[in-house]
């Protein structure tokens, strides 16, 4: 069945450095790829999403890139700050969302 | 919060009892979802509904039941048949199916002893 794999499961970066989280998907018909951020004990919130007709999308310090040929997409966070510490989930959708397992991002002061 | 209200925030029940978790949205969204999240784990889909009076099983529907009698409400019942009900339950809604952003409620943390 459809599958979304997310790596790494934990990522620790120095404050101010960049962080990259990668996801691969199996369903070539997937055409919507959102990223959600979940702080400890709170609800997931959409931070950025991309559709298959676009290769890259940016929103301030956050960017997502999509490679449909290779079936992978990545979240890039630049100039990381302590408030970026959270669990990040990727997902892919061909009508129904398939979720990655999550990446715990730790920002070291 | 954000148009989706889950209540209560914390719920405690004895083993063998059914319990119903509330989810109400005022976003006029057609689709609603229930997810389960265990500590350190991702999101697993329990049930979803694309339209009133219709719903489908997700990946882990066993031991759960839902109803969608009104567009704004999608209650989840955790039955005594659910073997490990203790978890964090998240309700979400979206305008259409899986290709529109999900809006999540604040969740209900259920503890069964």
- A101–B98 C-beta distance less than 8 A: no
Q: Tens of pLDDT along chain B (113 residues)?
A: 459 999 999 999 999 999 999 999 999 999 999 999 998 888 999 999 999 999 999 999 999 999 999 999 999 999 999 999 999 999 999 998 778 999 999 999 999 99
Alpha carbons A72 and A95: distance in angstroms, whole number = 18
Q: Would you place residue A23 in the very low, low, confident or very high pLDDT band (cuts 50, 70, 90)?
A: very high
Q: Which residues pair with A8 in a beta bridge?
A: none
Residue B1: per-residue pLDDT: 47
Say yes or no: B23 contacts chain A, CB-CB below 8 A. no
* Nearest CB to B98; choose among A95, A100, A102: A95
The whole-angstrom distance between B17's CA and the closest CA on chain A is 25
CA distances from A28 to A2, A64, A87, A99, B8 (A): 9, 18, 26, 15, 40
* Nearest CB to A43; choose among B42, B90, B101: B90
- B43–A44 C-beta distance less than 8 A: yes
Extract the tokens encoding B3: 């148009």
Rounded to 5°, the CA angle A7-A108-A59 comes to 60
- B90–A93 C-beta distance less than 8 A: no
CA distances from A108 to A51, A83, B98 (A): 32, 11, 35
Whether cis (ω within 30° of 0) applies to the bond prior to B8 is: yes
Say yes or no: B5 contacts chain A, CB-CB below 8 A. no
User: Is the distance from CB of B68 to CB of B78 less than 8 angstroms?
Assistant: no
* Nearest CB to B102; choose among A46, A95, A102: A46
Question: Across residues A56-63, what is the average pLDDT?
Answer: 97
Alpha carbons B28 and B44: distance in angstroms, whole number = 24
Q: What are phi and psi of A84, to 5 degrees?
A: -80, -15
Q: Would you place residue A54 in the very low, low, confident or very high pLDDT band (cuts 50, 70, 90)?
A: confident
Residue B2: per-residue pLDDT: 52
Nearest to A59 by CA among A76, A84, A38, A44: A76
Percent residues over pLDDT 90 in chain A:
92
- B105–A97 C-beta distance less than 8 A: no
* Nearest CB to A99; choose among B1, B42, B101: B42
The whole-angstrom distance between A20's CA and the closest CA on chain B is 19
């Amino acid at each position: 069945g459809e599958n979304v794999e997310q790596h790494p499961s934990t990522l620790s970066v120095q404050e101010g450095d960049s962080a990259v989280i990668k996801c691969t998907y199996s369903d070539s018909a997937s055409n919507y790829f959102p990223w959600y951020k979940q702080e400890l004990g709170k609800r997931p919130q959409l931070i950025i999403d991309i559709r298959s007709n676009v290769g890259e999308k940016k929103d301030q310090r956050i960017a997502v890139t999509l490679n449909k040929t290779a079936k992978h997409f990545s979240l890039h966070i630049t100039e990381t700050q302590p408030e970026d510490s959270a669990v990040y989930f990727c997902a892919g959708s061909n009508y129904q969302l398939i979720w990655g397992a999550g990446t715990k991002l730790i920002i070291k002061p | 919060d954000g148009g989706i209200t889950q209540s209560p925030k914390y719920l405690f029940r004895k083993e063998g009892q059914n319990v119903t978790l509330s989810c109400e949205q005022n976003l006029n969204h057609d689709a609603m979802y229930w997810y389960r999240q265990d500590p350190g784990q991702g999101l697993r889909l329990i049930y979803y509904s694309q339209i009133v009076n219709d719903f489908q099983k997700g990946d882990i529907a066993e031991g759960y039941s839902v109803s969608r009698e009104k567009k704004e409400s999608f209650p989840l019942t955790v039955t005594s048949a659910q073997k490990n009900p203790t978890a964090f339950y998240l309700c979400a809604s979206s305008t259409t199916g899986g290709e529109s952003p999900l809006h999540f409620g604040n969740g209900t943390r259920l503890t069964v002893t």
